[in-house]
Structure 1
């Protein structure tokens, strides 16, 4: 029937483009039907139904993604397939048609958001980059919500992108650092940067005489780029970066599971290389990575790095975790105890020199740690100098305990035997010994003699023996009355303590209760 409809419309004078629109076909399909006989068209249609499709081996996985996330786009399906199966070779049109067919067969509709856009002239190479911030909420490994913040840059001519993520809101200092990282990633700096009215860089629009924050004003003057600030309700002036923000949210971040910020940033860079900067741009019909190779030559060089960001080309920031380690390429490297501060920024700078990883507090500051670079994964590279010197505290504790005994030689022998028998619980035993000394001071020396004589090498035994000796003394009859030892000093009349309460005869109680 489709073959007949195509030929009928052609005989009625319709052009190929009109036939394609009327029958919802591609123009190539219309040309094929026009060049075929009825028998050839029948054979071709039958072969389409029997032909194995390239994505059939991944059908179940794609279906599971669509069922779990009905709003998943075909471009995101393409990226996930490339991430899951690096050796796969597929085109965007193949994925789009396959996903569309699965949605139709299994009735998985997709909501499409339509927004009006106005076409703008393309800018020359190296003239402009657009910058914007965004945030998303994703699930972590424990299925809990985690809010992440990111900054995006895009070169307006090539559409070459850069993204950097943080687990906390951005500060002006963070924004400046990310600018430097973006210029290194781009291989240079454009003449103009376009921003929204963000509080990180601007104080007031001031009727065109824009007032910037002090830090960003200093940065702009030192770098020497032009700044263009978009007016409110004017998304067209920065439509490229708005599309990038949406692209990052929907194609990279959406439905992705968060583990830690370093791994997230590494996966983001891999996504840029694999999808963000590699896929053909729908407007330019070119790959951003290929156009960027030409545009890079028109960017301003940024080799003389800023004084407070010197060594940035070889220095990377990392977050210090609460167990005083940083993560680099799926491994953990130790830092000195106390590097992590609960309310501090907890950011350090790392450099890679040959096979050595160097960690600094500031880009040119003191070296906090040096480690041999590990090429494995999941390893903890720890320096002995970064471990807590537990022996020093225990040794001082032992000396404090021993000095409280008269026979220090015997106490030293007892403490030594405890250390040998209970190496993991030395501190606990020392605390028990201190308790015994404090609460049973008159009997502690005799208890120590008993323990050494009977080879009772345990702090629990020393405490129990001292407690037993103390109880024995308390039960012995005393020649002097002991009750007055507990009399408060404010009692002067001891006869009051020796007074007895009056008693009544039983008959009176029976009378009160209604008896005899």
Structure 2
């Protein structure tokens, strides 16, 4: 029975709930109750559209084999181009682009169009050329009285399959990554011509169109050590297969089902496992024992390696982090804020005594500080980082200059900043508040204040209050016929005498 005929029959039997039940309709037509419910929910417009689509798809079904041939030959071919090629082959077709896209989308669900991948030989047949490096993590390892995660790095020489592995109790950062390379090359007794990595941020900050922005500290180490950095395409483990297998080998053979009394016990175990198991077994691919194969055929062609001078500086050098567009940097699985002026910039980061210190790489200036969060997945934010303090200060200075005049206003601002640099913005806000309380200011008193060796807002306030009080007394005296203009600054003099006990808090 045609689908839309069945739908109309279901609707007739159901009669908007006045006729047969869904169960009896399902039994009569041999359909499931869910199917009956689905079709009863369709209105006439939906049924008509479904009917038209069926007819349109019939047209494309006539060319199904040709479409499949195109998609299998050219898997990335768009629906628009498929339609164009179809029209070129058979002439005009009365059908829309949208219908073609829907048809091809449904076709791809039923037919696999996998693009063939082509492979090329890699440089594992030349000794001393390549080392593959990868990081791994295994959780729930029993160490002492607790289970914890173990982070490790694996190095595999592509020719001899000689392996080096070391473990860390916390996520491996750039410092640790550099020191691990140093230890690995000293273990090998030499350095390969290139090392291959996936796109870890320890090596690559970002990639755009295969243009790489490298971690500059690691790049500096690689240049001094004498090896080239080669980075795989993202999500392509096949291009780094040897070390991927090595990571699984460490997880499943070295660490799985083992318990350790402490961290030193784990390190000693791994060292012993390397010598007695990993590098002493007969390798399944080469058919040779890695340690023996390396010493006979590869050690002699490895480049000489000496610990570079930058290693000694590593501990005191900041790690490099890229600030994202929201003003956050990543550090050990958490996000920390920096001032908004550094959004999308690069900054230096140091962790010292449970504090995260963030610096400007160009000036070395300290720009932010956070307490290191021991949890993961947190965002640690200082709201002050998202305020434009320079603009706020400039706006306050402009307001002062409008009230006092440009020249006098700048002089007062300069003196306030010299006296209290750490609270200058607060002093400006306070000055505006004080000045707003006076409708008419005597420029003489403000000019006298501008010539003082130091100045605070409280001092300005005291002077203005004393001046205002003495002015009122002069007016009162003049009304009684006595002129006491010279007494106008009497109160100001008294303020000067007691001023030594007042100062701004920095």
TM-score tier by shorter-chain length is 0.3 to 0.5
The TM-score normalised by the length of structure 1 is: 0.37
Q: TM-score, normalised by structure 2?
A: 0.37
